[in-house]
Amino acid sequence: MAVETRYRVIVRCPGCGEKYVLRGRTNKNGELETGFKQCVCGNESNLRIDVTPE
């Protein structure tokens, strides 16, 4: 059984200053999945994302 690496993801919105701390894993395409869609202010694309392994 392979151990799947979990990541701590911090998403910051420069527009409103909101900060989200999430956990995510990579999918089979190598993309990080957290379930995050957009900030509460509606910002979807201009986000600062910091990822570190747990």
CA torsion angle for 26, 32, 37, 40 (degrees, to 10)?
120
Domains in the chain: how many in total? 1
Q: What are phi and psi of 16, to 5 degrees?
A: -115, -10
* Residue 1 placed within a domain: no
Range of the domain at 44: 6-53
Residues 6+ positions from 2 with CB-CB distance below 8 Å: none
Quote the distance between the C-alpha of residue 34 and its chain's center.
Answer: 5
- The answer to whether 51 and 7 have CB atoms below 8 angstroms apart is yes
* Residue 20 placed within a domain: yes
Confidence (pLDDT) at 3: 65
Give the Cα separation of 52 and 37 in Å (integer): 19
Per-residue pLDDT tens digits of the chain, which is 54 residues long: 556 789 999 999 999 999 999 999 999 998 999 999 999 999 999 999 999 998
